[in-house]
Amino acid sequence: MILKTIFCVLIVVVLAEVCCCMDNVETEEMGVDERQNIFLPCGEEAIESYRVSWVRDGRDDNQTPRRSIFNNGSLFISDITRHDAGIYECQGIEDEIIRSKVKLVVRTPPPPLVNVTVHACTILASIRWEVEDTGGYPIDYFKAQFRLKHTPDDQLADPWHPVVPEHISSSAVRLNYSRTRIKLEIVNSTNFYLSQCKQTVLCRN
């Protein structure tokens, strides 16, 4: 009876230590640019690839062609896309202990601004916009440019002219400029990307 009690106590202690190890794994955040490659480490000590399993957001993704487990247990992901973002966990197959937990953040070009509108008032017009997403980088500045909507058939199209100031503060949500019949484009820019999509709005007299 005493031996049975001691054995049960040992089991409880072992299970408590395993649960403690699983709960104490801190989530490490790693960022990577879209279309780059990355290694996700499996804990501080190397472990054979056949002894670990990687899951993303609770799902086994080891069969994805762009992902492979190296001999030290680390996960290699090639040609990163925004769909690769998530929480990755490296878990021992035999002991089921979580050895590492990584939050992968994929940085992408900033998407288009939303709710871009122009409000005409007296001799000025006001541009308003909203930022829905930065793509993972802080926005460095906004940029707007304009040109005449119509030009005579015998003349070249009016070139684009920058709206002053050329680099609009990243905290701005509106801008006033001289009113005329123009087409206007506004883009958002980070230190690494210029938004590939431009919003074109028409200002009428």
Tell me the two tokens of residue 63. Answer: 């069969």
- Same structural domain, 77 and 124: no
- Same structural domain, 102 and 70: yes
Burial of 100 (C-beta count, 10 Å sphere; 0-12/13-18/19+): buried
Q: What is the CATH number of the domain that holds 35?
A: 2.60.40.10
> What pLDDT does residue 10 have?
46
Sheet hosting strand 59-60, strand order edge to edge: 27-33, 98-107, 86-92, 52-56, 59-60
Low-confidence stretches of the chain (pLDDT beneath 70): 1-23, 46, 61-63, 120-123, 173-205
Q: Is residue 174 part of a domain?
A: yes
> What pLDDT does residue 87 have?
95
- pTM value is 0.61
> What pLDDT does residue 187 have?
61
Strand partners, 125: 120, 177
Cβ–Cβ under 8 Å, residues 102 and 87? yes
> What pLDDT does residue 142 have?
82
- Same structural domain, 141 and 175: yes
Q: Is residue 1 part of a domain?
A: no
- Same structural domain, 98 and 137: no
The dihedrals phi and psi of 67, each to the nearest 5 degrees, come to: -120, 135
Residue span of the structural domain in which 126 resides: 114-202
Q: Is residue 5 part of a domain?
A: no
Instruction: Specify the amino acid at residue 130.
Output: E
- Same structural domain, 86 and 136: no
Residues in the chain: 205
The dihedrals phi and psi of 194, each to the nearest 5 degrees, come to: -115, 130
Boundary (domain end) residue, out of 89, 107, 125: 107
> What pLDDT does residue 63 have?
61
Distance, CA of 53 to CA of 1 (rounded, Å): 40
- Same structural domain, 150 and 81: no
- Same structural domain, 193 and 120: yes
> What pLDDT does residue 41 have?
92
Say if strands 124-130 and 86-92 run parallel, antiparallel, or are unpaired: unpaired
Q: Is residue 4 part of a domain?
A: no
Structural domain total, the chain: 2
Q: Is residue 12 part of a domain?
A: no
- Same structural domain, 34 and 101: yes
Rg of the chain over all Cα atoms, to the nearest angstrom: 27
Q: Is residue 19 part of a domain?
A: no
> What pLDDT does residue 197 have?
41
Q: Is residue 30 part of a domain?
A: yes
User: 3-state secondary structure string, the chain?
Assistant: CHHHHHHHHHHHHHHHHHHHHHHCCCEEEEEEECCCCEEECCCCCCCCHHHEEEEECCEECCCCCCEEECCCCCEEECCCCHHHCEEEEEEECCCCCEEEEEEEEEECCCCCCEEEEEEEECCEEEEEEECCCCCCCCEEEEEEEEEECCCCCCCCCCCCEECCCCCEECCCCEEEEECCCEEEEEEEEECCCECCCCEEEEECC
Q: Is residue 177 part of a domain?
A: yes
> What pLDDT does residue 30 have?
94
